[in-house]
Amino acid sequence: MCAVLSATQTWLDSHQYLALWLEGIALLAIFIWDRIDASQQHKQTLAQICASDAAANAANKSAEALINSERAWVIPELFSQAVKGADGMWYRRRDGVSLSTQEVLKGRHQDYFLKVTNMGRTPAQILALEIRYSCLPEGRYRFAQESAYSYGTRRNARIHTSSWRRARNRTPVSH
């Protein structure tokens, strides 16, 4: 056995260039194997990030659904107080009595009633009410479906509300 080792030692001493090449090839193989392993770990990390992101989104949607289920939903509805009959006269919607000429000239046929209904699970407190409107151009009676509010200035109605609990605790209200 000792003779084999001494012969191997003398052979390696005489063939050092070959030993350097073998060492270089071994180092290159180790480097390639390390890169392949790092790439697989990177793919696993990306998959874990995607899974945790999906879980976070699901948790966020669940929390939003809970908040929305407890939110005070306020639904505004606008009703005209007068309707135009087939005979061209204006009639009060509530009792069917015709409006006089003076009432029509004063614009009473254009009066509206705003009904606000709380549809949420918690009481609502109306903090502010803002009504905006828009007049249509001459000869036009409704907005085009695809270009709503394209004529004149866009107006709308907004009601800022707060649930009763937040108002009671005097915490800021987000709009």
Residue-wise pLDDT for 132-162, tens only, equals 777 777 777 776 654 444 444 444 444 544 4
31 domain residue, yes or no: no
145 domain residue, yes or no: yes
> Rounded to an integer, what distance in angstroms lies between the CA atom of residue 1 and that of residue 9?
12
Model confidence, pTM: 0.39
103 domain residue, yes or no: yes
Which value, in Å, is the radius of gyration of the alpha carbons in the chain? 40
Of the pLDDT bands very low, low, confident and very high (cuts 50, 70, 90), residue 56 is very high
> Rounded to an integer, what distance in angstroms lies between the CA atom of residue 129 and that of residue 158?
6
Are 120 and 162 spatial neighbours (Cβ–Cβ below 8 Å)?
A: no
For residue 96, give the 3-state DSSP assignment: coil
State the total domains in the chain.
1
List Cβ neighbours of 142 (8 Å cut-off, separation of 6 or more): 136
32 domain residue, yes or no: no
158 domain residue, yes or no: yes
List Cβ neighbours of 141 (8 Å cut-off, separation of 6 or more): none
96 domain residue, yes or no: yes
175 domain residue, yes or no: no
108 domain residue, yes or no: yes
Question: Is it the case that residue 13 has pLDDT exceeding 80?
Answer: no
The per-residue pLDDT for range 110-124, each reduced to its tens digit, is: 888 888 888 877 888
Domain coverage including residue 101: 69-169
